[in-house]
Structure 1
Amino acid sequence: MIRSLFLSVGMAVIANAGMAACVDQEDMCETPSGGYHIELPETENPPLVVFLHGYGGTATGTLKNRSLVDPLLARGYAVMAPEGSERNGRQSWNFFPGWEGRDETAFLREVVQDASDRFGVDDDHVVLGGFSAGAFMVYYLACAAPDTFSAYAPVSGGFWRPHPEACDGPVRMFHTHGWIDNVVPLEGRLLGGGRFHQGDIFAGLEIWRVANECADTKPSGFSTTGQFMRRRWTGCADGAMLEFALFPGGHNVPQGWSDMMVEWYEGLPGG
Protein backbone atom coordinates (compact mmCIF):
# COMPACT_ATOMS: atom_id res chain seq x y z
CA MET A 1 0.00 0.00 0.00
CA ILE A 2 1.36 3.38 -0.96
CA ARG A 3 1.53 6.24 1.49
CA SER A 4 0.32 9.39 -0.23
CA LEU A 5 0.87 13.01 0.56
CA PHE A 6 -0.76 16.19 -0.56
CA LEU A 7 1.01 19.55 -0.37
CA SER A 8 -1.16 22.50 0.74
CA VAL A 9 -0.15 25.94 2.05
CA GLY A 10 3.38 24.74 2.69
CA MET A 11 2.31 21.64 4.66
CA ALA A 12 2.27 17.96 3.73
CA VAL A 13 -0.83 16.13 4.93
CA ILE A 14 -1.83 12.51 4.62
CA ALA A 15 -4.33 11.86 1.84
CA ASN A 16 -6.27 8.77 0.74
CA ALA A 17 -4.25 5.75 -0.37
CA GLY A 18 -3.67 5.74 -4.11
CA MET A 19 -3.35 9.52 -4.43
CA ALA A 20 0.06 11.08 -4.91
CA ALA A 21 1.75 14.26 -3.78
CA CYS A 22 1.19 17.03 -6.30
CA VAL A 23 -0.31 14.57 -8.80
CA ASP A 24 -2.71 17.03 -10.46
CA GLN A 25 -1.45 19.79 -12.72
CA GLU A 26 -3.06 22.50 -10.57
CA ASP A 27 -1.42 20.98 -7.49
CA MET A 28 2.07 20.61 -8.94
CA CYS A 29 4.94 21.11 -6.51
CA GLU A 30 6.27 24.49 -7.56
CA THR A 31 9.89 25.62 -7.48
CA PRO A 32 11.43 28.88 -8.73
CA SER A 33 12.27 27.35 -12.13
CA GLY A 34 9.30 25.03 -12.70
CA GLY A 35 7.51 22.19 -11.01
CA TYR A 36 7.14 18.46 -10.53
CA HIS A 37 4.85 15.70 -9.31
CA ILE A 38 6.00 12.98 -6.95
CA GLU A 39 4.78 9.71 -5.49
CA LEU A 40 6.22 8.29 -2.29
CA PRO A 41 6.54 4.79 -0.85
CA GLU A 42 5.83 4.07 2.80
CA THR A 43 9.51 3.93 3.69
CA GLU A 44 11.18 6.99 5.19
CA ASN A 45 14.07 8.76 3.44
CA PRO A 46 13.57 6.73 0.24
CA PRO A 47 15.92 6.75 -2.74
CA LEU A 48 14.53 8.60 -5.73
CA VAL A 49 14.02 7.92 -9.42
CA VAL A 50 13.56 11.14 -11.41
CA PHE A 51 11.99 10.30 -14.78
CA LEU A 52 11.83 12.86 -17.61
CA HIS A 53 8.97 12.70 -20.11
CA GLY A 54 9.41 12.78 -23.87
CA TYR A 55 8.70 15.60 -26.34
CA GLY A 56 5.12 16.77 -25.95
CA GLY A 57 4.68 14.80 -22.74
CA THR A 58 3.85 15.99 -19.25
CA ALA A 59 4.73 15.19 -15.67
CA THR A 60 1.17 13.98 -15.13
CA GLY A 61 1.48 11.66 -18.11
CA THR A 62 4.63 10.12 -16.65
CA LEU A 63 2.84 9.16 -13.43
CA LYS A 64 -0.04 7.67 -15.41
CA ASN A 65 2.39 5.04 -16.70
CA ARG A 66 1.73 2.64 -13.84
CA SER A 67 3.91 -0.12 -15.29
CA LEU A 68 6.78 2.33 -14.82
CA VAL A 69 5.77 3.81 -11.46
CA ASP A 70 4.25 0.96 -9.43
CA PRO A 71 7.27 -1.41 -9.49
CA LEU A 72 9.50 1.45 -8.29
CA LEU A 73 7.15 2.29 -5.42
CA ALA A 74 6.89 -1.39 -4.49
CA ARG A 75 10.67 -1.56 -4.21
CA GLY A 76 10.76 1.46 -1.88
CA TYR A 77 11.69 4.19 -4.37
CA ALA A 78 10.07 7.60 -4.62
CA VAL A 79 9.19 8.56 -8.21
CA MET A 80 9.47 12.15 -9.38
CA ALA A 81 8.09 13.46 -12.68
CA PRO A 82 9.42 16.97 -13.44
CA GLU A 83 7.64 19.16 -15.98
CA GLY A 84 9.63 20.02 -19.10
CA SER A 85 10.01 23.56 -20.41
CA GLU A 86 8.16 24.84 -23.47
CA ARG A 87 9.86 24.33 -26.81
CA ASN A 88 8.03 25.07 -30.06
CA GLY A 89 4.73 25.14 -28.22
CA ARG A 90 5.17 21.75 -26.53
CA GLN A 91 6.79 20.52 -23.35
CA SER A 92 10.31 19.18 -23.80
CA TRP A 93 13.85 19.69 -22.51
CA ASN A 94 16.52 22.23 -23.32
CA PHE A 95 19.17 19.56 -23.76
CA PHE A 96 21.34 20.56 -26.72
CA PRO A 97 24.42 22.70 -25.91
CA GLY A 98 23.95 26.30 -27.05
CA TRP A 99 20.15 26.30 -27.17
CA GLU A 100 18.47 29.16 -25.37
CA GLY A 101 16.12 28.38 -22.54
CA ARG A 102 15.96 27.05 -19.02
CA ASP A 103 19.10 25.70 -17.40
CA GLU A 104 17.76 22.16 -17.01
CA THR A 105 20.65 20.90 -14.90
CA ALA A 106 20.05 23.68 -12.38
CA PHE A 107 16.30 22.99 -12.51
CA LEU A 108 16.71 19.28 -11.85
CA ARG A 109 19.05 19.95 -8.95
CA GLU A 110 16.46 22.40 -7.64
CA VAL A 111 13.52 19.99 -7.74
CA VAL A 112 15.50 17.18 -6.11
CA GLN A 113 16.55 19.51 -3.30
CA ASP A 114 12.95 20.66 -2.95
CA ALA A 115 11.72 17.07 -2.69
CA SER A 116 14.40 16.34 -0.10
CA ASP A 117 13.30 19.34 1.97
CA ARG A 118 9.55 18.69 1.62
CA PHE A 119 9.31 14.92 1.63
CA GLY A 120 12.59 13.61 2.99
CA VAL A 121 13.80 11.77 -0.10
CA ASP A 122 17.43 10.67 -0.06
CA ASP A 123 19.19 13.13 -2.35
CA ASP A 124 22.39 11.06 -2.19
CA HIS A 125 20.67 8.18 -3.99
CA VAL A 126 19.02 9.63 -7.08
CA VAL A 127 18.72 7.91 -10.46
CA LEU A 128 17.97 10.24 -13.37
CA GLY A 129 15.99 8.44 -16.06
CA GLY A 130 14.09 9.66 -19.06
CA PHE A 131 12.34 8.62 -22.24
CA SER A 132 13.05 9.92 -25.77
CA ALA A 133 13.67 13.69 -25.44
CA GLY A 134 13.94 13.03 -21.71
CA ALA A 135 16.67 10.50 -22.48
CA PHE A 136 18.45 13.09 -24.65
CA MET A 137 18.43 15.32 -21.57
CA VAL A 138 19.84 12.51 -19.43
CA TYR A 139 22.68 11.98 -21.89
CA TYR A 140 23.71 15.62 -22.08
CA LEU A 141 23.44 16.25 -18.34
CA ALA A 142 25.50 13.13 -17.56
CA CYS A 143 28.06 14.23 -20.15
CA ALA A 144 28.52 17.75 -18.77
CA ALA A 145 27.89 17.19 -15.05
CA PRO A 146 28.25 13.46 -14.25
CA ASP A 147 28.42 13.99 -10.48
CA THR A 148 24.97 15.59 -10.34
CA PHE A 149 23.17 12.29 -9.63
CA SER A 150 24.30 8.85 -8.54
CA ALA A 151 23.30 7.02 -11.75
CA TYR A 152 21.67 7.57 -15.15
CA ALA A 153 19.07 5.44 -16.92
CA PRO A 154 18.04 6.76 -20.36
CA VAL A 155 15.43 4.93 -22.46
CA SER A 156 15.21 5.41 -26.25
CA GLY A 157 17.45 8.42 -26.57
CA GLY A 158 21.09 9.46 -26.88
CA PHE A 159 23.26 12.22 -28.34
CA TRP A 160 22.53 14.33 -31.43
CA ARG A 161 25.06 15.11 -34.12
CA PRO A 162 27.56 16.58 -33.91
CA HIS A 163 28.32 14.22 -31.07
CA PRO A 164 30.22 15.72 -28.12
CA GLU A 165 33.95 15.50 -28.63
CA ALA A 166 34.25 14.18 -25.09
CA CYS A 167 32.32 13.81 -21.85
CA ASP A 168 33.40 14.23 -18.27
CA GLY A 169 33.36 11.04 -16.30
CA PRO A 170 33.17 8.49 -14.99
CA VAL A 171 29.44 7.76 -15.08
CA ARG A 172 27.18 4.91 -14.00
CA MET A 173 24.75 4.48 -16.87
CA PHE A 174 22.15 1.92 -17.88
CA HIS A 175 20.88 2.62 -21.43
CA THR A 176 17.81 0.78 -22.76
CA HIS A 177 16.71 0.87 -26.40
CA GLY A 178 14.25 -0.84 -28.74
CA TRP A 179 15.63 -2.85 -31.64
CA ILE A 180 12.91 -1.59 -34.02
CA ASP A 181 12.68 1.97 -32.67
CA ASN A 182 11.92 4.14 -35.73
CA VAL A 183 11.51 7.41 -33.79
CA VAL A 184 15.01 7.32 -32.34
CA PRO A 185 16.63 4.63 -34.50
CA LEU A 186 19.84 3.03 -33.31
CA GLU A 187 21.62 4.60 -36.30
CA GLY A 188 20.00 8.03 -35.79
CA ARG A 189 17.91 10.03 -38.26
CA LEU A 190 17.46 13.49 -39.77
CA LEU A 191 14.86 15.87 -38.37
CA GLY A 192 13.48 19.28 -39.39
CA GLY A 193 14.34 18.93 -43.06
CA GLY A 194 17.92 18.08 -42.19
CA ARG A 195 18.46 20.87 -39.67
CA PHE A 196 18.90 18.36 -36.86
CA HIS A 197 20.40 14.90 -36.81
CA GLN A 198 19.84 12.35 -34.07
CA GLY A 199 23.09 10.58 -33.36
CA ASP A 200 24.16 6.97 -33.60
CA ILE A 201 23.52 5.14 -30.32
CA PHE A 202 26.61 2.95 -30.67
CA ALA A 203 28.78 6.02 -31.32
CA GLY A 204 27.38 7.43 -28.08
CA LEU A 205 28.35 4.29 -26.20
CA GLU A 206 31.89 4.72 -27.50
CA ILE A 207 31.96 8.23 -25.99
CA TRP A 208 30.89 6.79 -22.64
CA ARG A 209 33.54 4.05 -22.80
CA VAL A 210 36.19 6.71 -23.30
CA ALA A 211 34.78 8.87 -20.48
CA ASN A 212 34.74 5.80 -18.24
CA GLU A 213 38.34 4.91 -19.19
CA CYS A 214 37.30 1.40 -20.17
CA ALA A 215 40.24 -0.83 -21.01
CA ASP A 216 38.60 -2.42 -24.05
CA THR A 217 35.80 -1.75 -26.49
CA LYS A 218 34.69 -5.35 -26.06
CA PRO A 219 31.94 -5.82 -23.44
CA SER A 220 33.08 -7.54 -20.28
CA GLY A 221 29.82 -9.44 -19.87
CA PHE A 222 26.58 -10.45 -21.54
CA SER A 223 23.25 -11.58 -20.06
CA THR A 224 19.57 -11.96 -20.85
CA THR A 225 16.79 -10.76 -18.56
CA GLY A 226 13.39 -11.69 -19.96
CA GLN A 227 13.08 -9.84 -23.26
CA PHE A 228 16.23 -7.78 -22.64
CA MET A 229 19.60 -8.62 -24.18
CA ARG A 230 22.24 -6.93 -22.08
CA ARG A 231 25.92 -6.13 -22.44
CA ARG A 232 28.12 -4.37 -19.92
CA TRP A 233 31.53 -2.77 -19.57
CA THR A 234 33.11 -3.10 -16.12
CA GLY A 235 36.86 -2.93 -16.73
CA CYS A 236 36.78 0.84 -16.43
CA ALA A 237 37.66 3.67 -14.02
CA ASP A 238 36.86 3.24 -10.35
CA GLY A 239 33.14 3.78 -9.81
CA ALA A 240 32.28 3.64 -13.50
CA MET A 241 29.63 1.32 -14.94
CA LEU A 242 28.13 1.15 -18.41
CA GLU A 243 25.41 -1.24 -19.49
CA PHE A 244 23.27 -1.41 -22.63
CA ALA A 245 20.00 -3.36 -22.88
CA LEU A 246 18.24 -4.02 -26.18
CA PHE A 247 14.64 -5.20 -26.34
CA PRO A 248 12.68 -6.36 -29.41
CA GLY A 249 10.13 -3.53 -29.39
CA GLY A 250 9.98 0.02 -30.66
CA HIS A 251 9.84 3.50 -29.17
CA ASN A 252 8.51 2.99 -25.66
CA VAL A 253 9.44 2.30 -22.06
CA PRO A 254 9.24 -1.51 -22.09
CA GLN A 255 7.51 -3.71 -19.56
CA GLY A 256 9.95 -4.91 -16.94
CA TRP A 257 12.26 -1.91 -17.24
CA SER A 258 11.71 -0.58 -13.72
CA ASP A 259 12.60 -3.83 -11.95
CA MET A 260 15.57 -4.47 -14.22
CA MET A 261 16.94 -0.96 -13.72
CA VAL A 262 16.58 -1.07 -9.92
CA GLU A 263 18.30 -4.44 -9.73
CA TRP A 264 21.16 -2.97 -11.76
CA TYR A 265 21.33 0.13 -9.55
CA GLU A 266 21.24 -1.80 -6.30
CA GLY A 267 24.08 -3.98 -7.57
CA LEU A 268 26.36 -0.96 -7.95
CA PRO A 269 28.86 -0.06 -5.22
CA GLY A 270 26.94 2.34 -3.00
CA GLY A 271 23.71 1.80 -4.98
Structure 2
Amino acid sequence: MSQITKGAAALCLTLLGSTAQAGCGPDPDPCDVPLGTYHIALPDTANGPIPALMFLHGAGGSGTGSTRSGGMADNLNSRGYAVIGPNGLQRENSRFGPGWSFHPDRPQQRDEMAFLLQVAEDAASRFGVDRDAIVLGGFSIGGSMTSYIACDDPTAFAAYAPVGGSFWRPHPVDCAGPVQLLHTHGWKDKTVPLEGRPLGNGTILQGDVWHAMGLWRAENGCDGLRADAFDTSGDFWVRIWEECDAGTALEFVLHPGGHGIPRGWSTYMLDWFEALSD
Protein backbone atom coordinates (compact mmCIF):
# COMPACT_ATOMS: atom_id res chain seq x y z
CA MET A 1 0.00 0.00 0.00
CA SER A 2 1.41 3.41 -0.97
CA GLN A 3 1.99 6.16 1.56
CA ILE A 4 -0.81 8.28 0.08
CA THR A 5 -3.21 5.32 0.21
CA LYS A 6 -2.26 4.65 3.82
CA GLY A 7 -2.87 8.28 4.59
CA ALA A 8 -6.27 8.19 2.92
CA ALA A 9 -7.30 5.10 4.85
CA ALA A 10 -6.14 6.54 8.14
CA LEU A 11 -7.96 9.80 7.56
CA CYS A 12 -11.15 7.99 6.56
CA LEU A 13 -11.09 6.22 9.92
CA THR A 14 -10.47 9.54 11.60
CA LEU A 15 -13.49 11.09 9.93
CA LEU A 16 -15.76 8.31 11.15
CA GLY A 17 -15.16 9.32 14.72
CA SER A 18 -13.06 8.64 17.79
CA THR A 19 -12.88 9.35 21.50
CA ALA A 20 -11.65 12.70 22.86
CA GLN A 21 -13.48 14.76 20.25
CA ALA A 22 -14.15 18.49 20.16
CA GLY A 23 -17.59 19.63 21.25
CA CYS A 24 -18.84 23.22 21.34
CA GLY A 25 -15.41 24.77 21.75
CA PRO A 26 -14.36 23.97 25.34
CA ASP A 27 -17.81 22.52 26.10
CA PRO A 28 -17.90 18.72 25.47
CA ASP A 29 -21.47 18.91 24.16
CA PRO A 30 -22.18 20.02 20.57
CA CYS A 31 -23.36 23.53 19.74
CA ASP A 32 -27.08 23.89 19.09
CA VAL A 33 -28.76 25.91 16.35
CA PRO A 34 -32.48 25.74 15.49
CA LEU A 35 -32.05 23.11 12.75
CA GLY A 36 -29.36 20.92 14.28
CA THR A 37 -25.98 20.68 16.00
CA TYR A 38 -22.32 21.15 15.20
CA HIS A 39 -18.86 20.78 16.72
CA ILE A 40 -15.94 23.19 16.48
CA ALA A 41 -12.19 23.03 17.09
CA LEU A 42 -10.56 26.42 17.58
CA PRO A 43 -6.94 27.53 17.21
CA ASP A 44 -5.10 28.31 20.44
CA THR A 45 -4.55 31.95 19.50
CA ALA A 46 -6.21 34.32 17.09
CA ASN A 47 -5.57 37.88 16.00
CA GLY A 48 -8.96 39.10 14.88
CA PRO A 49 -11.69 37.09 13.13
CA ILE A 50 -10.85 33.42 12.61
CA PRO A 51 -11.00 31.83 9.13
CA ALA A 52 -12.51 28.37 9.07
CA LEU A 53 -13.14 25.15 7.23
CA MET A 54 -16.69 23.82 7.62
CA PHE A 55 -16.42 20.14 6.73
CA LEU A 56 -19.39 17.86 6.00
CA HIS A 57 -18.88 14.22 6.98
CA GLY A 58 -19.58 11.22 4.80
CA ALA A 59 -22.32 8.61 5.24
CA GLY A 60 -22.49 7.31 8.79
CA GLY A 61 -20.08 9.91 10.14
CA SER A 62 -20.50 12.86 12.45
CA GLY A 63 -19.13 16.35 12.89
CA THR A 64 -16.72 15.11 15.55
CA GLY A 65 -14.72 13.24 12.91
CA SER A 66 -13.26 16.40 11.41
CA THR A 67 -12.80 18.30 14.69
CA ARG A 68 -11.09 15.69 16.87
CA SER A 69 -7.52 16.11 18.04
CA GLY A 70 -5.10 13.99 16.02
CA GLY A 71 -6.94 14.53 12.73
CA MET A 72 -6.86 17.27 10.14
CA ALA A 73 -8.07 19.78 12.74
CA ASP A 74 -4.56 19.88 14.21
CA ASN A 75 -3.10 21.09 10.92
CA LEU A 76 -5.81 23.67 10.35
CA ASN A 77 -5.70 24.92 13.94
CA SER A 78 -1.90 25.28 13.71
CA ARG A 79 -2.42 27.62 10.76
CA GLY A 80 -4.96 29.72 12.62
CA TYR A 81 -8.14 28.15 11.22
CA ALA A 82 -11.16 26.86 13.08
CA VAL A 83 -12.68 23.56 11.96
CA ILE A 84 -16.47 23.32 12.08
CA GLY A 85 -18.13 19.92 11.92
CA PRO A 86 -21.92 20.04 11.39
CA ASN A 87 -23.88 16.88 12.18
CA GLY A 88 -26.00 15.23 9.52
CA LEU A 89 -29.37 13.70 10.41
CA GLN A 90 -30.11 10.02 10.76
CA ARG A 91 -31.67 9.14 7.42
CA GLU A 92 -34.99 7.33 7.32
CA ASN A 93 -34.86 3.73 6.07
CA SER A 94 -31.10 3.85 5.68
CA ARG A 95 -28.49 1.46 7.04
CA PHE A 96 -25.70 3.97 6.54
CA GLY A 97 -26.38 6.20 9.54
CA PRO A 98 -26.37 10.01 9.55
CA GLY A 99 -26.17 11.83 6.25
CA TRP A 100 -27.38 14.80 4.26
CA SER A 101 -30.46 15.69 2.21
CA PHE A 102 -28.21 16.33 -0.76
CA HIS A 103 -30.22 15.00 -3.68
CA PRO A 104 -32.74 17.58 -4.95
CA ASP A 105 -35.02 14.89 -6.41
CA ARG A 106 -35.33 12.84 -3.23
CA PRO A 107 -37.19 13.51 0.07
CA GLN A 108 -35.61 16.29 2.11
CA GLN A 109 -35.38 15.75 5.88
CA ARG A 110 -34.02 19.23 6.45
CA ASP A 111 -33.27 22.45 4.60
CA GLU A 112 -29.52 21.85 4.61
CA MET A 113 -28.68 25.28 3.17
CA ALA A 114 -30.59 26.96 5.99
CA PHE A 115 -28.92 24.70 8.56
CA LEU A 116 -25.39 25.39 7.33
CA LEU A 117 -26.04 29.12 7.21
CA GLN A 118 -27.26 28.93 10.82
CA VAL A 119 -24.08 27.12 11.78
CA ALA A 120 -21.92 29.72 10.04
CA GLU A 121 -23.70 32.64 11.70
CA ASP A 122 -23.62 30.98 15.12
CA ALA A 123 -19.90 30.20 14.86
CA ALA A 124 -19.25 33.81 13.85
CA SER A 125 -21.20 35.32 16.76
CA ARG A 126 -20.20 32.78 19.40
CA PHE A 127 -16.53 32.15 18.57
CA GLY A 128 -15.39 35.05 16.39
CA VAL A 129 -15.20 33.04 13.17
CA ASP A 130 -14.80 35.28 10.11
CA ARG A 131 -18.11 34.80 8.30
CA ASP A 132 -16.52 35.93 5.03
CA ALA A 133 -13.63 33.45 5.27
CA ILE A 134 -15.34 30.07 5.64
CA VAL A 135 -14.50 27.33 3.15
CA LEU A 136 -17.24 24.72 2.82
CA GLY A 137 -15.82 21.26 2.22
CA GLY A 138 -17.03 17.71 2.58
CA PHE A 139 -16.22 14.07 1.93
CA SER A 140 -18.25 11.56 -0.13
CA ILE A 141 -21.93 12.52 0.22
CA GLY A 142 -20.63 15.45 2.25
CA GLY A 143 -18.77 16.39 -0.94
CA SER A 144 -21.99 15.99 -2.89
CA MET A 145 -23.79 18.25 -0.40
CA THR A 146 -20.96 20.78 -0.79
CA SER A 147 -21.35 20.73 -4.56
CA TYR A 148 -25.10 21.32 -4.43
CA ILE A 149 -24.68 24.20 -1.96
CA ALA A 150 -22.09 25.75 -4.27
CA CYS A 151 -24.45 25.35 -7.20
CA ASP A 152 -27.51 26.73 -5.38
CA ASP A 153 -25.76 29.77 -3.89
CA PRO A 154 -22.07 30.29 -4.72
CA THR A 155 -22.02 33.32 -2.39
CA ALA A 156 -23.06 31.34 0.70
CA PHE A 157 -19.42 30.57 1.53
CA ALA A 158 -16.06 32.02 0.51
CA ALA A 159 -14.99 28.90 -1.41
CA TYR A 160 -15.84 25.23 -1.85
CA ALA A 161 -13.72 22.09 -1.53
CA PRO A 162 -15.59 18.81 -2.13
CA VAL A 163 -13.62 15.55 -1.81
CA GLY A 164 -14.76 12.26 -3.35
CA GLY A 165 -18.30 13.49 -3.94
CA SER A 166 -20.07 15.54 -6.60
CA PHE A 167 -23.47 15.83 -8.32
CA TRP A 168 -25.79 12.88 -8.87
CA ARG A 169 -27.89 12.18 -11.94
CA PRO A 170 -29.79 13.93 -13.31
CA HIS A 171 -27.02 16.51 -13.29
CA PRO A 172 -27.97 20.16 -12.72
CA VAL A 173 -28.58 22.01 -15.97
CA ASP A 174 -26.86 25.12 -14.65
CA CYS A 175 -25.98 26.79 -11.36
CA ALA A 176 -26.64 30.17 -9.76
CA GLY A 177 -23.33 31.72 -10.71
CA PRO A 178 -19.54 31.45 -10.74
CA VAL A 179 -17.60 29.79 -7.92
CA GLN A 180 -14.23 29.37 -6.30
CA LEU A 181 -13.99 25.59 -6.16
CA LEU A 182 -11.36 22.91 -5.61
CA HIS A 183 -12.56 19.39 -6.39
CA THR A 184 -10.43 16.45 -5.18
CA HIS A 185 -11.00 12.83 -6.22
CA GLY A 186 -9.26 9.46 -6.14
CA TRP A 187 -8.22 8.02 -9.51
CA LYS A 188 -9.06 4.52 -8.24
CA ASP A 189 -12.26 5.46 -6.40
CA LYS A 190 -14.73 2.57 -6.75
CA THR A 191 -17.25 3.86 -4.21
CA VAL A 192 -17.85 7.13 -6.03
CA PRO A 193 -16.16 6.51 -9.39
CA LEU A 194 -15.26 9.49 -11.54
CA GLU A 195 -17.91 8.34 -14.02
CA GLY A 196 -20.48 7.58 -11.30
CA ARG A 197 -22.40 4.32 -10.86
CA PRO A 198 -25.98 3.08 -10.28
CA LEU A 199 -27.18 2.27 -6.78
CA GLY A 200 -30.38 0.78 -5.37
CA ASN A 201 -30.92 -1.48 -8.39
CA GLY A 202 -30.60 1.52 -10.65
CA THR A 203 -33.10 3.70 -8.77
CA ILE A 204 -30.45 6.32 -8.00
CA LEU A 205 -27.40 7.19 -10.07
CA GLN A 206 -24.21 8.88 -9.03
CA GLY A 207 -23.12 11.64 -11.36
CA ASP A 208 -20.15 12.04 -13.67
CA VAL A 209 -17.40 14.21 -12.16
CA TRP A 210 -16.07 15.08 -15.63
CA HIS A 211 -19.52 16.44 -16.48
CA ALA A 212 -19.57 18.42 -13.23
CA MET A 213 -16.25 20.05 -14.09
CA GLY A 214 -17.76 21.08 -17.42
CA LEU A 215 -20.66 22.70 -15.59
CA TRP A 216 -18.29 24.61 -13.32
CA ARG A 217 -16.26 25.75 -16.36
CA ALA A 218 -19.41 27.12 -17.95
CA GLU A 219 -20.42 28.95 -14.78
CA ASN A 220 -16.95 30.45 -14.42
CA GLY A 221 -16.80 31.60 -18.04
CA CYS A 222 -13.69 29.56 -18.80
CA ASP A 223 -12.69 30.09 -22.43
CA GLY A 224 -11.44 26.62 -23.29
CA LEU A 225 -12.55 23.11 -22.49
CA ARG A 226 -9.07 21.94 -21.57
CA ALA A 227 -7.24 23.09 -18.46
CA ASP A 228 -4.75 25.94 -18.82
CA ALA A 229 -2.17 24.69 -16.34
CA PHE A 230 -1.09 21.31 -14.98
CA ASP A 231 1.02 20.16 -12.05
CA THR A 232 2.11 16.55 -11.60
CA SER A 233 5.26 17.27 -9.60
CA GLY A 234 3.90 16.06 -6.24
CA ASP A 235 1.42 13.54 -4.87
CA PHE A 236 -1.47 15.26 -6.65
CA TRP A 237 -2.25 15.58 -10.36
CA VAL A 238 -3.70 19.04 -10.72
CA ARG A 239 -5.68 20.59 -13.57
CA ILE A 240 -6.20 24.36 -13.31
CA TRP A 241 -8.46 26.62 -15.37
CA GLU A 242 -7.07 30.17 -15.49
CA GLU A 243 -8.65 31.78 -18.56
CA CYS A 244 -11.94 32.37 -16.76
CA ASP A 245 -13.98 35.27 -15.41
CA ALA A 246 -12.33 37.52 -12.84
CA GLY A 247 -12.93 36.48 -9.24
CA THR A 248 -13.41 32.80 -10.06
CA ALA A 249 -11.18 29.81 -9.34
CA LEU A 250 -11.39 26.22 -10.51
CA GLU A 251 -9.03 23.31 -9.87
CA PHE A 252 -9.47 19.58 -10.30
CA VAL A 253 -7.10 17.57 -8.09
CA LEU A 254 -6.65 13.85 -8.63
CA HIS A 255 -4.71 11.48 -6.40
CA PRO A 256 -3.76 7.84 -7.08
CA GLY A 257 -5.78 6.43 -4.17
CA GLY A 258 -9.36 5.31 -3.81
CA HIS A 259 -12.33 6.66 -1.86
CA GLY A 260 -10.66 8.72 0.82
CA ILE A 261 -9.05 12.00 1.70
CA PRO A 262 -5.39 11.88 0.68
CA ARG A 263 -2.59 12.82 3.02
CA GLY A 264 -1.69 16.46 2.56
CA TRP A 265 -5.14 17.51 1.39
CA SER A 266 -5.77 20.06 4.15
CA THR A 267 -2.41 21.73 3.49
CA TYR A 268 -3.05 21.85 -0.26
CA MET A 269 -6.56 23.20 0.27
CA LEU A 270 -5.39 25.96 2.63
CA ASP A 271 -2.58 26.98 0.27
CA TRP A 272 -5.12 27.16 -2.57
CA PHE A 273 -7.61 29.18 -0.53
CA GLU A 274 -5.03 31.64 0.73
CA ALA A 275 -3.70 32.14 -2.79
CA LEU A 276 -7.15 33.30 -3.93
CA SER A 277 -6.63 36.65 -2.20
CA ASP A 278 -3.06 37.18 -3.49
TM-score, normalised on structure 2?
0.87
Aligned to 1:92: 99
Query: 1:214 is aligned with what amino acid?
Result: C
2:233, 2:31 → 1: CA distance?
36
TM-score, normalised relative to structure 1: 0.89
1:69 aligns with 2:95: no
The more displaced of 40-49 and 251-260 is: 40-49
Q: What CA distance in whole angstroms lies between the structure 2 residues aligned with 1:128 and 1:246?
A: 19
CA deviations over 1:195-245 (Å, ceiling 9, x no partner): 000011101100100111111111111113531010111111121111011
Amino acid corresponding to residue 150 of structure 1 in structure 2: A
For 2:242, the equivalent position in structure 1 comes to 234
State the AA in 2 paired with 1:126. Answer: I
Contact 2:33/2:119, CA 8 A, preserved across alignment: yes
How far the C-alpha of 1:19 sits from its partner, in A, is 7.3
Alignment of 1:15-30 (within 5 A): 20-22=22-24, 27-30=29-32
Using the alignment, how far apart are the partners of 2:268 and 2:161 within structure 1? 11
Q: What is the match of residue 36 of structure 1?
A: 38
Alignment of 1:98-247 (within 5 A): 98=105, 99-224=107-232, 226-247=234-255
Residue type at the aligned position of 1:92: G
**Using a 3 Å threshold, how does the CA distance of structure 1 residues 76 and 134 change in structure 2: closer, same or farther?**
same
Amino acid at match of 1:50: M
- Counterpart-to-counterpart distance in 2, 1:248 and 1:257: 13
- Distance of 1:91 and 1:225 partners within structure 2: 38
| Structure 2 Cα separation of the partners of residues 64 and 87 of structure 1 | 24
Deviation digits for residues 231-260 of structure 1 (CA, Å, limit 9, x no counterpart) = 111111121111011001011111100000
C-alpha distance in structure 1 between counterparts of 2:124 and 2:171, whole Å? 34
Alpha carbons of structure 1 residues 223 and 27: separation in structure 2 relative to 1, 3 Å: same
SS at match of 1:123: strand
CA contact (8 A) 2:22 2:69 kept: no
**SS of equivalent residue, structure 1 residue 51:** strand
Letter in 1 for 2:86: P
In structure 2, stretches of 5+ residues that fail to align are 1-19
Question: Root-mean-square deviation (CA), in Å?
Answer: 1.8
Q: Is the 8 A contact 1:47 1:125 kept in 2?
A: yes
1:188–1:65 Cα change, 3 Å: farther
Question: Which residue of 1 is the match for residue 13 of structure 2?
Answer: none
Which whole-Å CA distance do the structure 2 matches of 1:109 and 1:35 have between them?
12
Shift of 1:84: 0.6
More relative contact order, 1 or 2 (CA 8 Å, 6+ apart): 2
1:36-75 CA deviation, whole Å, 9 max, x = no partner?
A: 0001111142101000000111112222473422111111
In structure 2, what residue type is equivalent to 1:188? G
**Cα distance in 2 for residues equivalent to 1:225 and 1:118:** 42
Q: Which runs of 4+ in 1 moved over 3 A?
A: 18-21, 23-26, 64-67
Q: Which amino acid aligns with 2:102?
A: F
> 2-side partners of 1:26 and 1:39: how far apart?
11
Inter-partner Cα distance in structure 1 for 2:26 and 2:51: 23
Give yes or no for contact 1:23–1:60 (8 Å, CA) kept in 2.
no
How high is the sequence identity, in percent, across the aligned residues?
49
Equivalent pair of 1:51/1:130 in contact (CA under 8 Å): yes
Distance in 1, matches of 2:55 and 2:39, equals: 10
The more displaced of 261-270 and 195-204 is 261-270
**Could you give the per-residue CA deviations for residues 112-144 of structure 1, whole angstroms, max 9, x where no partner exists?**
100111100100101000000100000101001
The answer to whether 1:78 aligns with 2:82 is: yes
